[in-house]
Structure 1
Amino acid sequence: MTRESSGQKQPSRDNNPLPNLVTIVGRGVPSSYEITVDGEIEMLEADHREEATIISGGTAERSIDVGVQRFRFSGLMANVRLVDWNGVEAPDSLSTPTVNIEYGAAER
């Protein structure tokens, strides 16, 4: 049985090939992160060759101490690894960056 439409259009994910957003926020302490998605990933607001290393289209890694770094991506978040300057991984370290993931985020 198919459900009939109410006449409202559903948002199309085809309009934006990278519909999701991940935001990394530094806490004032040098830390590193690695994020992996099962689709494609692209850094916003910077030249990724200078700001981040993107490996195989689906993995980004970088260091951060202060500020905000954003990436748009397709698919689902597969893995997030956060390590502080002493090599202590999250959640055992309170110094690692904060990570916020928004699926279907509007472009800013």
Structure 2
Amino acid sequence: MNMIPFIGPWISLAPAIVVALIQDPILVVWVCVITLVAQQVESNLITPNIMGEKLNIHPLTVISIVLAAGNIGGFIAIIIAIPTYAVIKAIVRNIYEERKQIKEAATKSI
């Protein structure tokens, strides 16, 4: 369902609406409400926690990065924001650790 992030669930909603419409028109409302709630829970709670846990990024940071990327660069930026952040974070962490080791080595030799 999330093969196409952010729009996949809405595309997959179309067949469910058609089936609900055939069964009972009031079911369309229920299908839409249930899909909306499920999508919001998945997008705002489950995905940030899983991404944050696997990439060692706080869930609030994940949400902030996705929102900022969407405002700045649109849909493509949303897709590449978290991997880009993870790469930049790893590079900065490695540079910091290397500089820290150099500093410790310099102070030990004095």
**TM-score, structure 2 length as denominator?**
0.22
Q: Which has the higher contact order (CA 8 A, sep 6+)?
A: 1
Q: Please say which structure displays the higher CA radius of gyration.
A: 2
More strand by share: 1
**TM-score, structure 1 length as denominator?**
0.23
More helix by share: 2
